[in-house]
Amino acid sequence: MLNENQIEILKSIVDDNKELIIDLAKSNNIPNSDASVGVAKFLIADAGNFSKMSKDQKYHYENIIEPLINDVPCEGMIGESDLCMGNGFIDEENLVWAYRDQDMRCQECIGEKNRWNANNP
């Protein structure tokens, strides 16, 4: 079952960044990315739908949707190849903002970079 944060993240992705689902489906060689988007909408419609998913829907969830809402990796203090200052993942509470701002860093990395910039003008 998805928790409240995961539902909010998924809703934000479907509303504002549907291409994240489509691109991940394509990179996983899933020819019908619309099915992945459909599963996301199915889950948003009712949290109880998680337990009602078919085998095919679970496949889309596990391979496309879950990587976007659970244990999403932090890109590090500076960017993609940098080490993370936190636990390596973006907290669920901050993930909606990470997607909206297109800044895939955890709060620790954002804070550390802001402190560094303040001390090194």
Q: What is the chain written as a DSSP string?
A: ---HHHHHHHHHHHHH-HHHHHHHHHHTT-S-HHHHHHHHHHHHH-GGGGGG--HHHHHHIIIIIHHHHSSPBP--SSSTTSPPSSSSB--HHHHHHHHHHT----HHHHHHHHHHHHH--
pLDDT (average), residues 63-75: 96
Q: What are the tens digits of pLDDT across the range 3-46?
A: 999 999 999 999 999 999 999 999 999 988 999 999 999 999 99
Supply the mean pLDDT for the chain.
92
Q: What are the tens digits of pLDDT across the range 82-120?
A: 789 899 999 999 999 999 999 999 999 998 888 877 888
Amino acid at site 57: Q
Q: Which of 44, 69, 64, 42 is nearest to 54 (CA)?
A: 42
Q: What are the tens digits of pLDDT across the range 18-27?
A: 999 999 999 9
8 A C-beta contact, residue 73 and residue 80: no
- 0.85 surpassed by pTM: yes
